[in-house]
Amino acid sequence: MTATRAFLALGSNLGDRAAHLRTAVAGIPDVIAVSAVYETGAVGGDHGDPPYLNAVVELSTELGPRDLLEVCRRLEAEARRVRTRRWGPRTLDVDVLLVGDAVIDEPDLQVPHPRMWERAFVLIPLRDLAPDLVPSPPPPDGVALTDIRLR
């Protein structure tokens, strides 16, 4: 099997956010690059939710979309993510963005991620890694971004 270029989005707004991201990146197979880390206000949740740290990870992998979804779920479980409400605070959120040219539309897996093109907190770190996929500035969504690199 040939390795495929894939991208995962990571976010955290509870606990030691940077540590959650570092631990997640360490647990992802086939990582070839990690974007800068950006801090953003919560989008889609309550206005009082804590800010997020967000990043995108690039892979060169033989894992398929379903296998990558299982990696995402494992990482979230290891970070003790609790799902109390949609778009609620979380220790870790890991989403499959793109897996080569795969197009999947299933109840629990959609690739490309259906809302990625609407979210600056995904597009800006994705552009860090793949300007060929996001060549022009993403549309503003009212989210101010501050570059905070992982250490």
Residue among 16, 67, 85, 90 flagged as catalytic = 90
Selected catalytic residue, list 81, 119, 127, 128: 81
Marked catalytic residue, from 95, 119, 127, 128: 95
128 carries an active-site annotation: no
Degrees to nearest 5, angle at CA 10 with 97 and 151 = 135
Catalytic residue, candidates 17, 22, 46, 93: 93
81 in active site? yes
| 95: annotated active-site residue | yes
For residue 91, give Cα distances in angstroms to 7, 33, 72, 83.
20, 22, 13, 10
Residue with tokens 């690199």: 149
First to last CA, the chain: 34
Place of tokens 């093109």: 117
Count the alpha carbons within 13 Å of 88 in the hemisphere toward its beta carbon: 6
Q: Is 132 among the catalytic positions?
A: no
Q: Any idea which residues carry the catalytic annotation?
A: 81, 90, 93, 95
